[in-house]
Structure 1
């Protein structure tokens, strides 16, 4: 079993002078000596040190108050999510799953051993509450691969207390700098150990030159979306808010790019990958669609007067959402644990390593990207015009949904071009996003009506009052009609701005 905490800390260079007096830090009423602990940590990684290259650390540590396995995933600079698991001889499966998108089917093995003598102080406020933990660490590092180099150094680590104000760390840093102590150049002990113990040194992230050709821009966009999928994998497994949606969007962006830029990348290679991206998006979408519908319907219920909510409407909606959401959650985890998903990631890596470029890839962005974006916008315009010419009802609903999908494709095509075209492309992306949102509101209404009909039938079968579901259904019909009434005017104002 694993538990998670948000770790916010800063590291500083130190010499043999020890910890400075911290009683002068604003807000600190007392500095409590917590004694000295001996820590022994072994860090695990792949042979080519993929985790370290992504600023991820996985260690087994004994000594101190939190002996066990620790996985640290970067959030932002100086902020990491630290996930703990009990001490065992092998990498816990719970932690192994969280790095699987990077490790794939390779082995995790010991790469560095760090032994630290840690002298700890607690900074307390006037109410006796912990503000931060400050430690002086004398570190002895030994590389377990690549020649077995060794290194020693001393550093100061300041870790904010749980739910503490990050601004307090600025106050501590001000005091440390006044004492001649400066921030460390290394983001972690592992990074410093890899850099100072010889062998391959600290792994470097992939060098990415500025895009020049049309092909460069397309590949840069695909690579960025591939990275999003890999980086979000642990968050999806941990059920972090919005992570499923963001991963799904990344898969859609890649698939859409393959379609919009078929003159740049050979579809004989991209079509099979696109099919797998569609599969993954579908697996991710079940839970997301359910979540959106439940949130939308709940929001409308909360706006109703109390006397219009007849029967156990909220309880039925919660049960409906939980039952379907729980199934989708288990399904998503099964997908991420499956070989088909890993094979997709591997195929994306292969495409980026040896891209199937066509002749247009060598062309100038001003010609190749412009043509692709304008074509996507023209297709979108035709579909919106067709939808507006269709009578209200099922056929118009379908037509507007198709227009929404093409709005996404045009938007993603424009996103590819944005680095090359700057403000004009960014403005186009913004316009397309607005149109997509409006059409999305209409589609959400269509889906909500289907869900409400389902809920009403369930309530009726259980002998419950179904009045509220009918009322909500009518409201959704009204909202769809409002969008359809608003769309012609919005479209007239947007249409002339489309294209590069």
Structure 2
């Protein structure tokens, strides 16, 4: 078995000639560049077990040789993927598990059940690869590959391959990110999270990139505070990048929602750990995360307005030309909002932020100027202190809750959200039943404050929909009346919801 650490970057086809001429990609060459034609057939079961498990099963034509490969994802950092891989040569045109050494691929596949009659070719890649091995100034080595071609699936057409791949052969991952940042300064690039195999599986299935929720973060009590922070940043960055394609597709509101959640969690992590981090580049990165999250705001606000606030009420009340006109104008605003998000994702700032965060984690850059003593202490100590601090802030923000105006309630909502994010980050360090009980105790109040915020945003948005007239005023009045009455009913239970928060046991003190 071998392990590969590689960073894939997309490049526009029209920029490939410029990329090939780039001096950075030839300076320090350890061997002459080589170009070869690679054609690979990917296999799966009829029920797509390989795609579901993100296991790649392929047969690649390399000249006259047939290379059989099994590849399994291991971990990822800002697009830098580490994968376990087994490759053998065989004359069979279909996967031949007997060609692999005993005790290798059987660790990830039930090879006895994957008989030839159960496997079928699902798609193929066909591209030219130009490869060069370079010495990095830091003493590391990287293999640079430029791929140009297509992914094809029978009956589904094809999608282009136009990408740059860096595979770390020697040295540190941080050096690879530094090198990628230097290249991105000269040629527009974008971080690719989905492999060719994943993109091919989507093409074959006729599906779009699905929005991704945050994976469970399993911190270990034996980790230091610095190590835990690095893992949290890695998880949040991966969550954000996993939703880029879903946002660009624009058909599922969950895409922008999940990406914005990821970015908010990431920014919350910087705030949570700020007293132990070195000020730079932590502060600059947090500011860039804020910029990117802000670019998703208009799209998300209009998604909520149409799908969760105005749309359901107008539909329930039946056909009305005044409602139709408001929704038509809102849809136009939503398209403009998505345009803002798409431009941000195409901006070089987006790529630079992702690569900079990768280097930030790989090199533990937060240690420079940070509190070394606290960074090296057990994360359980830090978690208890942080949760205590956030819980106290929630209690301060909610004093005399029945007298709080909308602005103060919004501030309370933000504090509760920060506490919730912190609990989710550190959940694996504590009894899951205690964590769930605490989160359930927050849910009633958080739901009320979320509904209040949705109405406040909706009232602001509807006033931007063209010239004010009787029709718009009527629609605005309907929404305010409907949700106002609903919130008023819920407000009656606000005191008891707040009491439920106050009585929560601070289990992290045990």
TM-score (structure 2 length as normaliser) = 0.58
Alignment of 1:99-118 (within 5 A): 113-115=37-39
What's the CA shift for 1:236? 1.7
| Equivalent residue number for residue 411 of structure 2 | 402
2:92 to 137, 149, 154: 154
1:492 aligns with 2:499: yes
**SS class of match (2:504):** coil
Preserved contact between residue 140 and residue 151 of structure 1 (Cα < 8 Å): no
| Equivalent residue number for residue 214 of structure 1 | 225
Change (3 A) 1:228 1:465: closer
Q: What are structure 1's unaligned runs of at least 5 residues?
A: 1-46, 59-89, 97-105, 124-135, 158-172, 194-198, 391-395
Preserved contact between residue 142 and residue 150 of structure 1 (Cα < 8 Å): no
Preserved contact between residue 276 and residue 375 of structure 2 (Cα < 8 Å): yes
Alignment of 1:98-497 (within 5 A): 113-115=37-39, 139-141=60-62, 151-156=89-94, 177=113, 212-241=223-252, 242-295=254-307, 296-304=309-317, 306=318, 311-355=320-364, 356-357=366-367, 358=371, 359-390=373-404, 396-423=405-432, 424-453=434-463, 458-460=468-470, 464=471, 466-497=473-504
Q: Determine the C-alpha separation between the residues in 2 that align with 1:115 and 1:151.
A: 15
Cα distance per residue 1:353-382 (max 9 Å; x no partner): 222132212112232111101111110111
Q: Determine the C-alpha separation between the residues in 1 that align with 2:235 and 2:219.
A: 13
Q: Determine the C-alpha separation between the residues in 1 that align with 2:300 and 2:390.
A: 26
Task: Pick the structure with greater CA Rg.
Answer: 1
Preserved contact between residue 388 and residue 488 of structure 1 (Cα < 8 Å): yes
What's the CA shift for 1:399? 0.8
Q: Determine the C-alpha separation between the residues in 1 that align with 2:246 and 2:93.
A: 31
Cα distance per residue 1:259-306 (max 9 Å; x no partner): 1222332344322221111111111111101110122111011222x4
Change (3 A) 1:300 1:137: closer
Cα distance per residue 1:90-134 (max 9 Å; x no partner): 96469x9xxxxxxxxx98x9986434799x9xx9xxxxxxxxxxx
TM-score (structure 1 length as normaliser) = 0.60
What's the CA shift for 1:388? 2.7
1:50 aligns with 2:59: no
Preserved contact between residue 248 and residue 281 of structure 1 (Cα < 8 Å): yes
RMSD of the TM alignment (CA)? 4.5
Greater relative CO (CA pairs within 8 A, separation 6+): 2
Paired residue total: 353
